[in-house]
A and B are shown apart, each in its own frame.
Chain A
Amino acid sequence: MKKDILPAIRLTIATIILFAVVYPVCVWGIAQLSLNNGKGEIIEYSGNTYYSNIGQSFTSDKYFQSRPSAVNYNAAGSGGSNKGASNSEYLDTVKSRIDTFLVHNPDIAKNEIPVDIITASASGLDPNISVQAAHIQVKRIAKVRGLSESDVQKLVDEQTEKPLFGLFGTEKINVLKLNIALDTLK
C-alpha cells in the first residue's frame, strides 16, 4: 500500500489536468459554435429573451395552459411531485385540477382532458404539452381573444412538433412558442 501512495497522487494530478481541464475546455470551446454559444437556446420576442427549453407558468385564460409544476416553474431549481400512484392526498389534488380545468373550459367534456395537463412533470419545467391538451383549449382561447376557432386550431397545427424523423417518440407542442405565436396573431 505504501509504495502505491506516490504514484496514486501523481497520476491523480495528471488525470485531473486531462479530464477536469482539457476535456471540459474542449467541449466549452466547441460549444461556442452552437446556438447562443452553449448558454442554452433562446427565443427573442418583443424585446425579451426566453429560454425555449425551459417551461413557464401559464395559468391565464388567454394563454394556452402549461402543465402543473411541483416547483411552480422556478428554474433556479427543478423537481417533480414524487407522489406515489396510490397516494390519496395526491389523487385529491388531481381531482381538484380536473374540476378547475372544467370551470375554465366549460365547453369540453371531462373524458376529453388528457392526463398530461392535470399531472405534474418530472422536472417541474416541462416546456411541452400534448397535442390533445392544446386542442381542448382552442375553444376557450378563441372565445377570450375574440378569434375564430379555425384560426386558433391552425396555429396549434402549425406548432405541433412531429416525432423525430416522423418515426421516433411523441408528438408535442412547445407552450411558450405557441403562446408567442398566439400573441403575434392579433
Chain B
Amino acid sequence: MNTEILGIITTFLIAVALAIPLGKYISKVYEGSKTWLDPIFDPIDRILFKIGGINPLKEMTWKEHLSALLTINLVWFLISMALLMTQQWLPLNPDGNPNMSADLAFNTSISFLVNCNLQHYSGETGVSYLSQIWLMFLQFVSAGTGMAAAVVLFKAFRKKSTDQLGNFYNFLVKSCVRILLPVSLVLALILVFNGTPMTFEGKDTMTTLQDGNTVEVSRGPAAAFIAIKHVGTNGGGFFGTNSAHPFENPNYLTFMMQMIGQLIIPLSMIFAFGYFIKRKKLSWMIFGVMTIGFLLLVTPNILLEQNGNPAITSLGIDNSLGAMEGKEVRFGAASSGFWSIVTTVISTGSVNAMHDSTMPLSGMNQLLAMMINAFYGGCGVGLLNFFIFIILAVFISGLMVGRTPEFLGKKIEAREMKIAMIIALLHPFLILTATALATAFPQFTASTLNNPGFHGFSEMLYEYTSSAANNGSGFEGLGDNTPWWNISTGIVLLLSRFLPIIGPVAIAGLLASKKYIPEGAGTLKTDTSTFGLMVFAVIAIIAALAFFPALTLGPIAEHFSLYR
C-alpha cells in the first residue's frame, strides 16, 4: 500500500481510537462526576462562575436555555462589530492593517459567531493581531455554544420525564474549559514545535537566495489560533490560504494532527451521548450511519484527486502525482482529497488545498457533505442535525409498521414533526433560494466569479452551501468581499445557525417533558442496523431530491464536459 493512503487510514483510525475514551470523559464532564483533571479545572470554573455571577446548579427549561444562549451570542456580536471596525487604532497591530468596512465586519462577526469562519478577508492583511485573538476567543465559545446545546439533548433523554435540563452557562463553561481548552493546548504545542509561528512581532523581511530581492514574510500568534480552529471545528485560517500555508501546516505530522484535531470532538460527542444516556448501542448505530456516509464521500475524492485532471494528462506529461493544481507537495493529492471531505462533513471548513481546483465530482462530494451536514458534523451541532433525521426516520418507520412513532420511550407527535420538517427543509431552502437570487442578479455576482461556465455556477452554489452548513470553506476564487456576498451570506449564516439549534433543542425539551413509555415487544428499536439503514435512506432521499437539480447544473455538467 502506498504511503499516502497508509497515512490517511492511520489518521482516521487514531481519531476513532481516541474518540471513545474522550467520549467517556465528556460524558463524565456533563454529568458532573469526578475526572482526573478536576484538580486543575475546578478552581478555573469557580473563578469564571464567580466573575460571571452565575449559579451553575440552577436548572433551566429548554426555553431558558435558548434565551441564555441567544443573549450571550448577541453580546459577542456587538463586541465583535465594534472591535473589527476600529482595529486600526487599537493595540497589537504591528502590520498596520486597516479597519474593516461595515459589511465586512458584519459578515466576519457573524461567521465567527456561528462557528462558520467564512472569511471574506485575508488573515495577513485584513485583521490585526488583536482581532485575530478576538476571533480565536469566538472560536472557543462558538464551539462551546454548539456543544452546550447538544447537552440539552443529552439531558432530555437521560431522565424519564423532566423539564429541568441543566444550566446553559455550566455546559458552556465546561465544554470550553474542560474539553476544548486542554485538547487545543496539546495541538498548539505540537504545532509550535513543528515550525508554526507563535509571536507577537509583525512581518519580517528576508532576502531571496536567487536574486537577493527583499520579500516580506507574514507571521503572528498563529499556533494557538490554528489549534482551536480545528478542535472547535471552526476552520477559519490565521493566514489567507488556511492550512495550505506552510506556516499554518508545516509538514505531514501537523497534517495528521490537524485532521485528528478536527475529527475528535464530533466523533467523541457521538460516544459521549451513548455513555450519558446509557445506550452505547445507539451511539454505534449513529457512528455507523455517519461513517458509511463519510466513506461513500471520501473514497471517490481520494481516487479522483489521485488520478488527476484528464485535461492535463492529455497534454502528455507525467500526471502520476494526481491533481496538483492548488495542492501542496508535502501533502500530496490523496491526502488533500481526504482532507476536503473531512473538513466538509464536519463543519470545519479549513482547507489544505484549494477546493476550487479539485475535480468536478470531488467538488460535488464536498458540496454534498455540507448539504447533508450530519455525517459527524460540527461540535455539538452535528449531533443536533442528525437528531432531526432520526426523528424523521422514526416517524416514517412508525407509519410503515402502523405504530405510534416513539424514540427512546417518548411519543413523537405532530408538533415535534412540524419542527423537524421545518428544520430539514430550511437548509435546502436557504441554499437554493440564495443561489437562485445570485444567479438572477448577475450585475452583482458575474464579475466576482473566477471561472467561466458550469464551474462559475458551482462557485456560487458552494458559497451559499458553505454558509448554510456553517462550514466556512470556499471555492476561494470567488471575489467574495463585496456588499452582495457579505450581506447575503451573513443572513444565510444567521438563519442556518440558530434555527437548527433552536429546533432540535425545542424538540428535545418537548419530548423530555412527556410521559415515559416503557419499551415493550412492539417498540421500534432505534439502535439496530435496520433502523440505521432507515435513517440513511431518509438522509439520502432528502439530500438527493432537494439538491440533485442544482448539482446537475454545476459539478455534474462540468464533469461530463471534462471527461469526454
Contact = CB atoms under 8 A, between A and B. Distances in A.
Q: Do A and B bind each other?
A: yes
A170 B137 contact: no
B3 A20 contact: no
Contacts of B455: 84-87
Contact of A122 (B3, B11, B319, B353): B353
B321 A28 contact: no
A36 B48 CA distance: 35
Interface size class of A (residues with CB under 8 A): 35 or more
B241 A74 contact: no
Interface string A1-19: 1001111111111111011
A7 B53 contact: yes
Interface in A131-159: 132
A59 interface: yes
Contact of B356 (A20, A84, A111, A119): A84
A185 to B, nearest CB: 14
A37 B199 contact: yes
A77 B325 contact: no
A7 B199 contact: no
Contact of B71 (A1, A28, A94): A1
A149 to B, nearest CB: 20
Contact of A115 (B10, B74, B252, B324): B324
B359 A15 contact: no
A34 B256 CA distance: 20
B171 interface: no
Interface string B119-138: 00010110000000110110
Contacts of B452: 87, 89
A85 B360 contact: yes
Nearest to A2: B71
B253 A120 contact: no
A52 B138 CA distance: 32
Which residue, A11, A84, A98, A172, has most C-beta atoms of chain B within 10 A?
A84
B223 A168 contact: no
B99 to A, nearest CB: 19
A115 B307 CA distance: 12
Contact of B79 (A12, A34, A84, A168): A12
Contacts, number: 369
Given A130-B329, A167-B3, A18 B308 contact: no
Interface stretch (B206-214, B402-410, B539-547): B206-214
A15 B137 contact: yes
Given A39-B197, A122-B244, A83 B357 contact: yes
B210 A91 contact: no
B328 A39 contact: no
Contacts of A50: 206, 209
B141 interface: yes
B72 A8 contact: yes
A168 B6 contact: yes
Interface stretch (B22-30, B183-191, B391-399, B417-425): B183-191
Nearest to B130: A20
A115 B176 CA distance: 44
Interface in A21-56: 23-24, 26-28, 30-31, 34-35, 37-41, 45, 48-56
A131 B472 CA distance: 34
B197 to A, nearest CB: 5
Interface stretch (B153-161, B267-275, B309-317): B309-317
Contact of B134 (A20, A48, A75, A163): A20
Interface string A115-130: 1101111111111111
A34 B193 contact: yes
A110 B317 contact: yes
B317 A118 contact: yes
B125 A77 contact: yes
A31 to B, nearest CB: 4
Task: Give the one of A14, A18, A123 with max B CB within 10 A.
Answer: A123
A99 B197 CA distance: 38
Nearest to A39: B199
B195 A39 contact: no
Given A82-B326, A168-B3, A23 B255 contact: no
Given A7-B54, A8-B72, A67-B329, A15 B141 contact: yes
A82 B358 CA distance: 9
B328 A126 contact: yes
A111 B314 CA distance: 11
B476 interface: yes
A1 B67 contact: yes
B483 interface: no
A5 B71 contact: yes
Given A7-B169, A76-B218, A168-B3, A19 B317 contact: no
Nearest to B74: A8
Contact of A80 (B244, B246, B320, B454): B244
A132 B357 contact: no
B206 A167 contact: no
B290 interface: no
A60 B240 CA distance: 28
B210 A164 contact: no
A60 to B, nearest CB: 6
A6 B53 contact: yes
Interface string B66-96: 0110111011100100000000000000000
B176 A163 contact: no
Contact of A82 (B71, B140, B360, B477): B477
A155 to B, nearest CB: 15
A58 to B, nearest CB: 5
Q: Which of B137, B192, B246, B357 has the most CB of A within 10 A?
A: B246
Q: Which 9 A-B pairs have the closest CB atoms?
A: A82-B477, A168-B7, A169-B252, A122-B244, A11-B52, A84-B455, A14-B51, A128-B329, A4-B71
Given A78-B244, A116-B321, 13 more contacts: A8-B68, A11-B169, A14-B48, A26-B185, A40-B195, A41-B250, A54-B206, A82-B357, A83-B326, A86-B311, A112-B318, A169-B331, A183-B209
14 contacts: A5-B71, A11-B169, A23-B185, A24-B136, A31-B223, A54-B206, A57-B210, A80-B244, A84-B450, A85-B357, A110-B317, A121-B244, A122-B353, A168-B6
